[in-house]
C-alpha cells in the first residue's frame, strides 16, 4: 500500500498546541479590553441600580483573572516550544514579553517609540524600534533600517560576502569611535 505524498510536519502537535495557547491568550486579552470599555460605560447604569461598587469589583477581579490566565497560557507556550526546540514565528514572538509573559498590545500593555543612539541622530540606519512592556517595563529593540545579518549556516566561506550596507557607509565620513550599527535583536 503506497504512502500518501502529503508533506508531514514534524512535531505537529506542538505547533497545534502552541497556536491554540497563543490564540486563547489573545482572545482573553481582547475580552479584557472589551471589559474595560464596558466597565467605563457601566457606572451610570450601576449608580441607578445601587450596585456600583460590586460591579466594578467583580469587573476588576474578572480582568485580573483573565490577565493571569493569558500570562499562564503564554508561559506554557514558551516553555513548551523551548523544550521541543520549536521556533516561534517572529510575529508571534514579538507580541509576547519574554520577561513577564504578557501579551503586548499597543496602547494597552505596551508602548513603542523610535530611538536613535547615534550622535545627534544623524545616522538614519541607527533607528531602533523600542517596544516597552507596561507591566514589567522591560524593552525589546528591533533595528528598523539596518539590514538583518544572515543566519550562521548562510555565512559560510563560499557564501557571498555581506556587502549590502557598504555603499551607504562609503559615502559617510569614517567615525571609528562610534557604534555604527545597533545590536541585533533577538
Applying CB under 5 A, among 20, 99, 113, 162 the residue interacting with Zn ion is 99
Is residue 100 close enough to count as binding Zn ion by CB under 5 A? yes
Segment interacting with Zn ion, rule: CB under 5 A, options 62-70, 76-84, 131-139, 171-179: 131-139
Start-to-end CA distance of the chain, whole Å, equals 46
How is the chain split among helix, strand and coil, in percent rounded to 5?
A: 50, 10, 40
Segment interacting with Zn ion, rule: CB under 5 A, options 40-48, 80-88, 128-136, 169-177: 128-136
In terms of Cα–Cα distance, which of 146, 141, 138 is closest to 113?
A: 141
Is residue 136 close enough to count as binding Zn ion by CB under 5 A? yes
What's the gap between Cα 45 and its chain centre? 37
Q: Which helix (H) or strand (E) holds 132?
A: strand 127-133
Residue labelled with grid coordinates 493571569: 68
Q: Which is nearer to Zn ion, 81 or 95 (CB)?
A: 95
Segment interacting with Zn ion, rule: CB under 5 A, options 73-81, 94-102, 152-160, 177-185: 94-102
Residues interacting with Zn ion, by CB under 5 A? 97, 99-100, 102, 133, 135-136
Amino acid at each position: 500500500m503506497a504512502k500518501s505524498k502529503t508533506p508531514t510536519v514534524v512535531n505537529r502537535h506542538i505547533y497545534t498546541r502552541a497556536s491554540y495557547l497563543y490564540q486563547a491568550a489573545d482572545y482573553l486579552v481582547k475580552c479584557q479590553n472589551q471589559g474595560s470599555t464596558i466597565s467605563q460605560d457601566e457606572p451610570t447604569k450601576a449608580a441607578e441600580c445601587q450596585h456600583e461598587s460590586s460591579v466594578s469589583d467583580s469587573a476588576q477581579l474578572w480582568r485580573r483573572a483573565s490577565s493571569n490566565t493569558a500570562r499562564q497560557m503564554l508561559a506554557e507556550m514558551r516553555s513548551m516550544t523551548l523544550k521541543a526546540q520549536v521556533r516561534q514565528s517572529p510575529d508571534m514572538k514579538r507580541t509576547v514579553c519574554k520577561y513577564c509573559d504578557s501579551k503586548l498590545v499597543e496602547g494597552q500593555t505596551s508602548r513603542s517609540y523610535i530611538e536613535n543612539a547615534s550622535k545627534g541622530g544623524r545616522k538614519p540606519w541607527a533607528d531602533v524600534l523600542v517596544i516597552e512592556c507596561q507591566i514589567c517595563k522591560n524593552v525589546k529593540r528591533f533595528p528598523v533600517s539596518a539590514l538583518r545579518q544572515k543566519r550562521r549556516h548562510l555565512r559560510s566561506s563560499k557564501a557571498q560576502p555581506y556587502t549590502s550596507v557598504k555603499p551607504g557607509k562609503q559615502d559617510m565620513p569614517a567615525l571609528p569611535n562610534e557604534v555604527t550599527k545597533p545590536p541585533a535583536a533577538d
